[in-house]
Copies of this chain bind each other. A is one copy, B any other.
């Protein structure tokens, strides 16, 4: 996956997915977006399914990198940064179109083990980062020691997932939710008297 053409194809897959959605996505669409022949796509990937799993792995690597960038600052700062990453697809992201397609992929997961395994990895990664950040906050006394990091991380993972589902399916804007996450952090997680901001 280090070679340039394969990466180009994955970038084209991203754009084609945003344009066409998942159910209607064809190797032809991806080839057109990459300005290549379908034969040259098939040189790298046997079929759409194999290409798509490679695409999910690529997204996972990008996601890992973005979450890994959130390793500096106080637990409160890192938690805020995790929320930012969760509600922003990056500068190249036509957010709504991508989320719409990814919800189709999510609905496909129960019928496709390869997709399901990847989505479970995404879920686990977000959960673990949240859990570690909250545990760090509890240990250092910034967060309330009555908070169970795993329970809070479970809660926040569900909330972030649900915000994405609702935005796509019911047109519920996620900015109000973002405000609610901040309130949750301040009232539920922070220890009494702490602002969570590093001195």
Contact surface of A with B, Cβ cutoff 8 Å:
21, 23, 100, 103-104, 106-107, 109-111, 116, 119-120, 122-124, 146, 148, 150-152, 154-155, 157-166, 168-172, 176-177, 179-181, 183-184, 187-188
CB pair B111–A169 under 8 Å, yes or no, is no
A183 partner residues in chain B, CB cutoff 8 A = 148, 151, 155
Partner of A165, one of B162, B181, B187: B162
Closest Cβ of chain B to A176, distance in Å, is 5
Partner of A179, one of B110, B151, B177: B151
- Complex: chain B residue closest to A121, CB-CB: B170
A27 to B152, CA, bound (A): 44
**Pairs A–B under 8 Å by Cβ, sample size 12:** A106-B169, A109-B169, A120-B169, A123-B166, A151-B180, A152-B180, A155-B180, A157-B166, A157-B172, A158-B180, A160-B162, A184-B188
- Complex: chain B residue closest to A148, CB-CB: B183
CB pair A169–B21 under 8 Å, yes or no, is no
Closest Cβ of chain B to A111, distance in Å, is 7
With A158-B159, A159-B162 as contacts: A116 and B180 at CB distance below 8 Å? no
Closest Cβ of chain B to A174, distance in Å, is 8
A155 to B176, CA, bound (A): 9
- Complex: chain B residue closest to A180, CB-CB: B155
CB pair B154–A187 under 8 Å, yes or no, is no
Interface centre among A100, A123, A163, A166 (most CB of B within 10 A): A166
Known: A116-B169, A150-B176. 11 other contacts (CB 8 A): A103-B106, A119-B169, A151-B179, A151-B180, A155-B180, A157-B166, A158-B172, A161-B161, A161-B166, A162-B163, A187-B188
